[in-house]
Amino acid sequence: MKLSHIGELGLLDYIRTRFISRSKDVLTGIGDDAAVLKPRVQHLLVTTDMMVERVHFDLRFTTPYQLGFKLVSVNVSDIFAMGGTPAYLLLNTAVRKNTDMAFITSFFDGIHDALRLYAIKLIGGDISATQRDMSLCATCIGYGKKVIHRSGAKAGDTVYTTGTLGDSACGLELLKKIKRTSPPHPSLVKGGSTGGARVPRRISEPLIKKHLMPVVRNPNKFVRYATSMIDISDGLLIDLSRLCDESKVGARIFLDRIPLSPQLRKAATETGIAPVQFALSGGEDYELLFTAPGKKKINAFAIGEITESKRVIVDLSGKEKPFSAAGYQHFISQGKGRPLP
Amino acid sequence: MKLSHIGELGLLDYIRTRFISRSKDVLTGIGDDAAVLKPRVQHLLVTTDMMVERVHFDLRFTTPYQLGFKLVSVNVSDIFAMGGTPAYLLLNTAVRKNTDMAFITSFFDGIHDALRLYAIKLIGGDISATQRDMSLCATCIGYGKKVIHRSGAKAGDTVYTTGTLGDSACGLELLKKIKRTSPPHPSLVKGGSTGGARVPRRISEPLIKKHLMPVVRNPNKFVRYATSMIDISDGLLIDLSRLCDESKVGARIFLDRIPLSPQLRKAATETGIAPVQFALSGGEDYELLFTAPGKKKINAFAIGEITESKRVIVDLSGKEKPFSAAGYQHFISQGKGRPLP
């Protein structure tokens, strides 16, 4: 059954029935001109992110479930990056009218499961037709007691990341290389490989999953120590540069301390790009990058330190090389495999 | 100069510099992972609306200024429709990388002037490339003391609209008919006409302007009387039906009381569609439709009354005819000129 069969009002009914969101804090959810929320005493955090077909995602690679899940994750990530607690989501979807209802329900399955994972509620949105590419937006609202900005880093602070870097970008590269369709091609399911790449499925799939369906980190365990924080969405160097810009400081990063997954180390060689290159400049890790004073006992990877102004990477031989903001930027043709800084 | 010349970071700088939004209530505006707002004691209202190229707008007809202005207006309209005061806006724009910077700055001029008109602040957003059609989203946050829902109408209440109806839909029809490009064709500027339509410019332009650049109504003068409210975005009958559905009531509307502008009366004949047809089923009026008890002194057009359950239109001869929800719906092919109910 196609979306054109049930129409906008049918889709609205489906969403409204599935995501009933009245509770003691949501006075009005989906179904009025605006959502109505009870006031709270904490600071209000608001963020919005969009995902456009053939720019942010490719329907040959992602399942609709993963797409819905990721749309929620990337928005929640920004609330976490402020040290906040996400609470509500608004959703805008522009889809083609000949879209199959199975696609729509699977997309909303992904939204639903991500909402449940992060314990947030869908309170509103807008649905529209599109002539060609799908376009998705979400707005996430959260609350924070102690808000962590990009601007609080001080010289001497330690720089941390919450997980391995580069996996997502390598996963994307593998998808392009092996042109793995969604669901995976039978030869891959059996552990085989297609195209030019010879990467076993047990290596490639965790990387691909990190790209298509990121699960983002709740900072509640270390938020009391953090002096500054940002999520790594465009790449370690560009996001670290942003944090340094806002904090008016520099940073010294040690190449051998950047956490790389064993899968990345193995798969990267097949792509012709160095693992560390993915980790430094690959986007969409959605790990948190934060700073904290001195040597706290923090369950995260210490990758360097904040300096007065110098921005350098220390390579494996101990030599310092300056770095600048290399990472993904819209509107500019991207060169693959940028030189190491 | 093209957008690809300045890139995403250049555009972000432009927006950030132009829309500085730090104030005593906006603790963090554009430039961090999320905006941070001071808590308030009033209810929080949140709404979001999207506009997709070749679905909601046609770049042959609208100027970028009008497009930016309208994007803000349609979102503010939803906050007004709850009886609230709009305060903040978040903006998502997906544009082609070969877009001219003159287009971008003019688009943001429209955003800027609408923000000023409604006294709201831009506090965040997201910018992205798109391969083909432009896609725009905005999220508006407001506050309300007495929130007016769609669901509060009672039998015996009077039904009001804040302005003339059908102008916007007729304006759109004229644009399609005369294929007036933006800016207007010289023959039109001189008061002439092009194509098949013979509508003088002083008649057509107010209708076209109502479509391309609606200015929405602040309900503060009558919000204390209102028992229910909705904005007319999809057409009088569909939006009145929604209000009746939510309130579990009916309505009796008098055809001769529906306010029609003199421009609509004159121009409609040229389109082959009856003026009242535009008023009943044409979308995008962005007037408010509300109910209030008895006969208050309210500066708005009383067009009918709320009934227990009957939903009827009284025609010019005094005959009652049932109505149902006729109006614009995405995903379903729209028939032009639906029969009168």
- pLDDT, tens digit, for every residue of A223-266? 999 999 999 999 999 999 999 999 999 999 999 999 999 999 99
Tell me if B231 sits within 8 A of B288, measured CB to CB: yes
Option in B36, B88, B150 nearest A147 (CB): B36
* Main-chain phi, psi angles of B328, to 5 degrees: -70, 140
More confident residue, B270 or A15: A15
- Residue A337, pLDDT score: 35
Judging contacts by C-beta atoms under 8 Å, the chain A residues touching residue B77 are: 33
d(CA B12, CA B124): 10
Option in A94, A142, A333 nearest B135 (CB): A94
Which stretch of DSSP H or E encloses residue A226?
A: none
Judging contacts by C-beta atoms under 8 Å, the chain B residues touching residue A36 are: 43-45, 82, 144, 147
A124: closest chain B residue by CA: B47
Residue B302 identity (one-letter amino acid)? A
Residue A252 identity (one-letter amino acid)? R
Option in B33, B230, B332 nearest A78 (CB): B33
DSSP string, B199-265: --HHHHHHHHHHHHS--PPPGGGTTTT-SEEEE-SS-HHHHHHHHHHHHT-EEEEEGGGS---HHHH
| Neighbouring C-beta atoms of residue A23, cutoff 10 Å | 11
Whether B304 shows a pLDDT value over 80: the answer reads yes
Residue B96 identity (one-letter amino acid)? R
Contact call for B52 and A128, based on CB within 8 A = yes
Whether B123 shows a pLDDT value over 60: the answer reads yes
Instruction: State the smallest CA–CA distance between residue B250 and chain A in angstroms.
Output: 18
Instruction: State the smallest CA–CA distance between residue A327 and chain B in angstroms.
Output: 11
Judging contacts by C-beta atoms under 8 Å, the chain B residues touching residue A31 are: 150, 246
Nearest C-alpha neighbor of B104 from the set B136, B80, B61, B148: B136
Average pLDDT score, chain B: 89
Instruction: State the smallest CA–CA distance between residue B224 and chain A in angstroms.
Output: 18
Option in B39, B43, B92 nearest A27 (CB): B43
More confident residue, B259 or A331: B259
* Residue boundaries of the structural domains of chain B: 3-144, 158-322
Whether B49 shows a pLDDT value over 50: the answer reads yes
Give the count of alpha carbons within 13 A of B66, CB side only.
17
| Site from A44, A143, A331 to mutate, B interface, most B CB atoms within 10 angstroms | A331
User: Can you name the residues that pair with B306 across neighbouring β-strands?
Assistant: B251
Whether A336 shows a pLDDT value over 60: the answer reads no
Option in A6, A48, A52 nearest B135 (CB): A52
Option in A48, A82, A331 nearest B36 (CB): A82
Whether A37 shows a pLDDT value over 50: the answer reads yes
> Which residues, including other chains, have CB under 8 Å from residue B185's CB and lie 6 or more apart?
B194
Option in B33, B131, B229 nearest A81 (CB): B33
Contact call for A34 and B3, based on CB within 8 A = no
- Residue B334, pLDDT score: 53
Specify burial of residue B281 (Cβ count, 10 A radius: 0-12, 13-18, 19+): buried
With cut-offs at 50, 70 and 90, classify the pLDDT of residue B330.
Answer: confident
Class of domain B158-322: alpha beta
Instruction: State the smallest CA–CA distance between residue B193 and chain A in angstroms.
Output: 31
Contact call for B34 and A79, based on CB within 8 A = yes
Judging contacts by C-beta atoms under 8 Å, the chain A residues touching residue B126 are: 48-50, 137
Do domains A3-144 and A158-322 share one topology? The answer is no
User: Mean pLDDT across the stretch B140-165?
Assistant: 96
DSSP string, A180-214: --SSPPHHHHTT---TT----HHHHHHHHHHHHS-
B32: closest chain A residue by CA: A150
Option in A27, A34, A55 nearest B131 (CB): A55
- Residue A324, pLDDT score: 83
With cut-offs at 50, 70 and 90, classify the pLDDT of residue B194.
Answer: very low
Option in A81, A84, A94 nearest B52 (CB): A94
- Residue A121, pLDDT score: 94
Q: How many CB pairs under 8 A join A and B?
A: 250
Highest mean pLDDT among A31-40, A291-300, B146-155, B192-201: B146-155
> Which residues, including other chains, have CB under 8 Å from residue A148's CB and lie 6 or more apart?
A81, A82, A83, A219, A223, A226, A227, A228, A229, A290
Of A290-304, B195-209, B229-243, B253-267, least confident by mean pLDDT is B195-209
Contact call for B52 and A130, based on CB within 8 A = yes
Look up tokens 């179904």; give the residue: A31
Judging contacts by C-beta atoms under 8 Å, the chain B residues touching residue A33 are: 47, 77-79, 81-82, 150, 229-231
Question: What is the architecture of the domain spanning B3-144?
Answer: 2-Layer Sandwich (3.30)
| Site from A22, A100, A330 to mutate, B interface, most B CB atoms within 10 angstroms | A330
A245: closest chain B residue by CA: B31
B289: closest chain A residue by CA: A33
Look up tokens 């998705």; give the residue: A136
Contact call for B32 and A149, based on CB within 8 A = yes
d(CA A249, CA A277): 24
ipTM: 0.89
Contact call for A123 and B52, based on CB within 8 A = no
User: Mean pLDDT across the stretch A152-167?
Assistant: 97
Instruction: State the smallest CA–CA distance between residue A144 and chain B in angstroms.
Output: 9
Instruction: State the smallest CA–CA distance between residue B189 and chain A in angstroms.
Output: 32
